Chains A and B, each alone.
Chain A
Amino acid sequence: MYDGQWREWKPYVSPWDPCPPIRVKSYVVAPNLFIPFQPPNLPQFSLDEALSRGTLWPALYSPYPSRREWKGG
């Protein structure tokens, strides 16, 4: 359900770049960008889940896994 929130692009790679190129870069497009005005009566998370996810509505939920590993952090 939340897989579609990432977009990818391929930056130009120069043979003269000093570091090994990262060929594909990505960014998030969170669900709020696709909802002009929240319609009434959207399904809700349970109250337990709402707190842990940071929103009451699955339609607004955007997961963000840490990208530490492949950022080399």
Chain B
Amino acid sequence: MEENKEANESAGNREPERDGHSVAGDAAYVAELEQLQKVDFALVELTLYLDTHPNDMHALQQFNQLAQRRAHLAHSFEIKYGPLMQFGHSYSRYPWQWYQPPWPWQV
């Protein structure tokens, strides 16, 4: 995670200044992203499971609960770090945030 600091500084050049706040690509971003990745992963697993077990009510309830939790997590993540999705599935501040690095493979 140490090497992130450099990436951070260069990302910081393009990112709007947010004093004292964590920016996309830094250690806090990676940690928060991982919280989202954990919930999203369970949702992937449950999706595939439900595709072959459509009548499993328990799994379905767990899926819906996690989907709700996911929405909250993604929302607070996006407020801090910018949109996760495009084509209108996420909001953007001014100026347009979507195209700003870092892209996932750069982090």
Q: Interface size bucket, B side?
A: 10 to 19
Question: How distant is the Cα of A3 from the Cα of B49 in the complex, in angstroms?
Answer: 26
Question: How distant is the Cα of A25 from the Cα of B49 in the complex, in angstroms?
Answer: 34
Binds B, one of A4-12, A13-21, A40-48, A65-73: A40-48
Q: Are A51 and B38 in contact (CB under 8 A)?
A: yes
Q: Are B42 and A56 in contact (CB under 8 A)?
A: yes
Q: Are B38 and A50 in contact (CB under 8 A)?
A: yes
**Interface SS, B side:** helix
List of B residues within 8 angstroms of A50 by Cβ? 38, 41-42, 45
> Which residue on chain A has the smallest CB distance to residue B56?
A40
Question: How distant is the Cα of A41 from the Cα of B56 in the complex, in angstroms?
Answer: 9
Asked if A26 is at the interface of the complex by the 8 Å CB criterion, the answer is no
Asked if A55 is at the interface of the complex by the 8 Å CB criterion, the answer is yes
Q: Are A51 and B56 in contact (CB under 8 A)?
A: no
Q: With A48-B38, A50-B38, A51-B37 in contact, do A40 and B58 touch (Cβ < 8 Å)?
A: yes
Taking A50-B41, A55-B45, A56-B45 as known contacts, 7 extra A-B pairs with beta carbons closer than 8 A to each other, sorted by chain A number, are A40-B53, A40-B58, A41-B58, A47-B42, A51-B34, A56-B46, A57-B45
Residues of A within 8 A of B (CB): 37-38, 40-41, 47-48, 50-51, 55-57
The 8 closest A-B pairs by CB, nearest first: A56-B45, A51-B41, A47-B38, A51-B38, A40-B56, A47-B42, A50-B42, A56-B42
